[in-house]
């Protein structure tokens, strides 16, 4: 996802309280590692997220890309947690994609690429469950912080801020830059 207006950082060691709505959702739903056979459903949810984020070009990846990049390379280029639809086990209601990075000043870190919950299940604690699972993995892997970006109009900003996220675009002098594929090819002399 490109062109985000805000960048956030969460330091390890936050997120301990669980609202009662989250405890209720946790009683009937669970977060699990994605499996190869989930890639088609994850791709469907990625499309839903792109539509929600008003990105008309949508994702440029398909389920085969997801399979290759998470299951066919070692180490995987990304990791994914999913939540099954309690009414239809062939469907997913949410996912979180993350990967590990390294900061020259801080060391191990985690990057949360996406977290998404279908509209029907929003407000039921599913997003909190996915977020908590990613954070727990980051702490387990001894990551010192987690970065992610949020569109400036996305109401999820309140969700993240309530869990200790800081908007480092507003706080500091940090700006997120992006080089698209055409630019990468031009810079390497492989534009044709």
Q: Which residues are catalytic?
A: 160
Question: How far, CA to CA in Å, does 109 sit from each of 104, 114, 156?
Answer: 10, 16, 22
User: Using N-to-C axis directions, what is the helix angle for 126-140 and 20-28, rounded to 10°?
Assistant: 90
Contact predicate 29/162, CB 8 Å: no
Instruction: Write down the residue that tokens 């301990």 correspond to.
Output: 16
C-alpha span between 68 and 46 (Å, rounded): 16
C-alpha span between 157 and 162 (Å, rounded): 8
């Amino acid at each position: 996802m490109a062109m985000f207006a805000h960048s956030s950082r969460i330091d390890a060691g936050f997120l301990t309280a669980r609202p009662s709505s989250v405890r209720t959702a946790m009683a009937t739903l669970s977060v699990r590692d994605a499996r190869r056979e989930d890639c088609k459903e994850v791709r469907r949810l990625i499309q839903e997220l792109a539509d929600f984020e008003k990105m008309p070009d949508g994702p440029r990846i398909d389920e085969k890309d997801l399979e290759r990049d998470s299951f066919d390379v070692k180490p995987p280029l990304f990791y994914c947690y999913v939540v099954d639809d309690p009414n239809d086990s062939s469907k997913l209601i949410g996912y979180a994609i993350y990967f590990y990075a390294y900061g020259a000043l801080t060391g191990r870190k985690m990057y949360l690429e996406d977290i998404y919950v279908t509209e029907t299940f929003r407000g039921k604690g599913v997003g909190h469950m996915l977020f908590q699972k990613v954070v727990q993995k980051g702490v387990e892997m001894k990551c010192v912080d987690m970065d992610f970006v949020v569109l400036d109009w996305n109401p999820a900003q309140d969700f993240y801020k309530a869990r200790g996220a800081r908007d480092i675009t507003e706080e500091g002098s940090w700006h997120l830059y992006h080089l698209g594929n055409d630019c990468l090819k031009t810079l390497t002399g492989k534009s044709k």
